Amino acid sequence: MKSVEIRALSTEAIQARLNDAKEEQMNLRFQQATGELTDYTRLRYTRRTVARLSTILKERLEAGMTEGEA
């Protein structure tokens, strides 16, 4: 998901996607630890998605934006 697409979402939607991405990242880590993970690029993609979502969410919270403003 690109930054432009994330910025178009509401704050609540970003938080929901962030929670989903963190859960996926945890599942991928477990798969990697047990040797079940075959596509290691998903781990990298998910990590970067979490970072993008977190950064944009933090920007909004620091700017004092509410859920209805975005």
In tens, the pLDDT along 23-68 reads 999 999 999 999 999 999 999 999 999 999 999 999 999 988 655 5
pTM of the shown model: 0.84
Residue pair 42/28 in contact by the 8 Å Cβ criterion: yes
Closest residue by Cα to residue 52 from 38, 32, 9: 9
Residue 69 has pLDDT above 80, yes or no: no
- 23 falls within a domain: yes
Residue 7 has pLDDT above 90, yes or no: yes
**Domain membership of residue 13 as a residue range:** 3-63
- 51 falls within a domain: yes
What is the number of domains present in the chain? 1
pLDDT at position 58: 95
Instruction: Quote the CA–CA distance of 23 and 61 in Å, as a whole number.
Output: 22
pLDDT at position 67: 52
Residue pair 11/66 in contact by the 8 Å Cβ criterion: yes
Identity of the amino acid at 19: N
